[in-house]
Amino acid sequence: MNFTSDLVEERNKSFFKHLDVDELKKRREESMVELRKKKRFEAIVKRSRISADTQNLFNLESSDIEPILLRAEPQLGNPNLKSQQKLELLINLVVFCNDSLILKPAIVLLCKLSSLDNKKLLEIISRFDLFQKLSVLLKSEDPVTKFNISWIITNLTAASTDNSIKLASLGIIESLAEIAKQEDKIEHEQQALWSLSNIAEESAELRDRVYATNITSHITRKLFTSQRMDLNILDTMVWLLSNIFKYKPIPGGMGLIRDFMKLLGNLLPLSHEEILNDTLRGLSNITKQGEYLQEVFNTGFVPRIINLLQHDSIKVISSSLDVICNLSAGDDVYSKLLLDSKIAENLIPFMTSEKPYIKRHSLFILSNIVSCTSAIQTVTSHPIFKLAMNNLIESDREIRIEALYVLANATKYTMNPLIFIDQDVFCKLLELLNYSDPEGIHLVLCVLMRIFKCARENNAMDVVMKFEELGGVEQLRRLEAHPNVDIYNKILEINGELYGLDVPQNSLTGGFLPK
């Protein structure tokens, strides 16, 4: 058995596939897309309609029930029955009764119960036979009934994906779209749009079915032609559009995207938190994976998006960062536009933020910007760079990694990293070599490799001497036994740079900046 080949094979098994620094930017873009998706799911972008004045209905006392319902189903007034048993009786009444005089108060009560912030009640309401009856009642001639049914459907679709799929199979999407396009009452139109948005958020297939109803044409036409609009329905319309943009490919292509871009002039100047948040979420979905960046920059509203980082709402700040993360994936021209729009100045407070995702996203943006050679000097000489480097030894692993990406990209794309690597940064790098994190260790070694290469080219022996003085040589020797083959190979490269240096008679002063 060949011991060397076995060792290499074992190292290959434990090798981190994405540790090639040449692919850092691509890896970060893909990683942050997933992080943002995860964050959005945790934030529950689907919305239930909860009524504060219904919370006391949980026990379903007789006083809460219309007399006509008690006559139709006397057991609803039985004090010995639990509320869940009464709810089952009420559902049966809705499903099997065709008397409109009984159905109307039954639906109103069911609507109120669906608005309770109670998952167990919603599970009981989630019956397919009820869904079938709701799909029929949604086509009623009575606007109030259609409104209440839309309200119930909103809460059912917010409760689970399975509910959305089952309701969609009964033609609910098309019926809701008709209500939204035909209803004169704002609250009725909004409720139908609310349900459609919940459904569109679920999957590309359901989103495409919502889009096929031409509801987006209805929305954009109203947004372009209405002089004044209720802010609540405006928010619901923008929220629905943002969900239409969630899955790629975006239906309607550039036509719908350009329409949305034209609306930014009316949406971004508003102070309404939810409208701003949903507008930014739409932009984030459009520009996900680095697409349609030119269209966003062409609007001229990138400075406004950056200014929203100063907003009082953490939701708006987070959504702004999502958009800027995507915009920072562009080339040197886009990076310069971001810098000209004062992105560095606006990110400074986030370098010390107590919210990990705020800090992580900010470092991600900065690392993308320093990937562009024309931006390195501007960023590394800016106060934000020093603050970013303070995060190298953060307790949060993801923050440490993003801070390392900032440094790794800065050293990769500059001719002389010695102008911004000071002793404090060097000490932090050596400390990071003690962490049991292959990705972090490899990034540190990549940075050290570039430092020593630059030191050799500039004959800056004080850098090597300081590295040895800080215990760096011992650290490298210890890591020679690391099972990761890329870490091992990188150490061999560093040794070549270190021991390939000739000690000059008079060392040049090209090493560390004063601490």
Tokens 């030894």 belong to residue? 393
Task: For residues 374 and 338, give the distance between their C-alpha atoms in angstroms, rounded to a whole number.
Answer: 12
> What token pair was written down for 101?
């005089």
**pLDDT for 301:** 96
**pLDDT for 227:** 80
Q: Computed from CA positions of residues 248, 252, 255, 258, in that sequence, does the dihedral angle turn out positive or negative?
A: negative
Residue range 258-294, pLDDT digits in tens: 999 999 999 999 999 999 999 999 999 999 877 899 9
Q: Is 394 exposed, middle or buried (0-12, 13-18, 19+ CB in 10 A)?
A: middle
**pLDDT for 370:** 93
Contacts with 42 (C-beta within 8 Å, 6 or more apart), sequence order: none
Q: What number of residues does the chain have?
A: 515
Give the number of other Cβ atoms within 10 Å of residue 169's Cβ: 12
H or E element that contains 198 = helix 186-200
Output Rg (C-alpha) for the chain, integer angstroms.
30
Residue range 136-150, pLDDT digits in tens: 999 998 999 999 999
Domains recognised in the chain with CATH numbers: 1-23+369-515 (1.25.10.10), 45-217 (1.25.10.10), 230-327 (1.25.10.10)
172-182 and 215-225 helices, crossing angle to 10° = 20
Contacts with 355 (C-beta within 8 Å, 6 or more apart), sequence order: 314
DSSP summary character for residue 289: G
Contacts with 195 (C-beta within 8 Å, 6 or more apart), sequence order: 150, 153, 154, 157, 172, 176
Task: For residues 129 and 133, give the distance between their C-alpha atoms in angstroms, rounded to a whole number.
Answer: 6
**pLDDT for 101:** 92
100-114 and 83-96 helices, crossing angle to 10° = 140
**SS3 labels along 51-83:** CHHHHHHCCCCHHHCCHHHHHHCHHHHCCCCCH
Q: What is the DSSP string of 381-424?
A: TSHHHHHHHGGGG-SSHHHHHHHHHHHHHHHHT-S-GGGT-BHH
Helix (H, G, I), strand (E, B), or coil: what is residue 273?
helix
**pLDDT for 1:** 41
- The mean pLDDT of the chain is 85
- Could you give phi then psi for residue 420, rounded to 5 degrees? -130, 5
Residues of the chain with pLDDT under 50: 1-22, 24-44, 52-58, 502-515
**pLDDT for 117:** 75
> What token pair was written down for 437?
């994190």
**pLDDT for 20:** 45
What's the pTM value of the predicted model, to 2 decimals? 0.83
Q: Under a CB-based contact definition with an 8 Å cutoff, are residues 368 and 28 in contact?
A: yes
Task: For residues 512 and 426, give the distance between their C-alpha atoms in angstroms, rounded to a whole number.
Answer: 9
Contacts with 413 (C-beta within 8 Å, 6 or more apart), sequence order: 370, 371, 372, 373, 376
- Could you give phi then psi for residue 513, rounded to 5 degrees? -75, 155
Helix and strand element counts for the chain (H, E):
30, 0
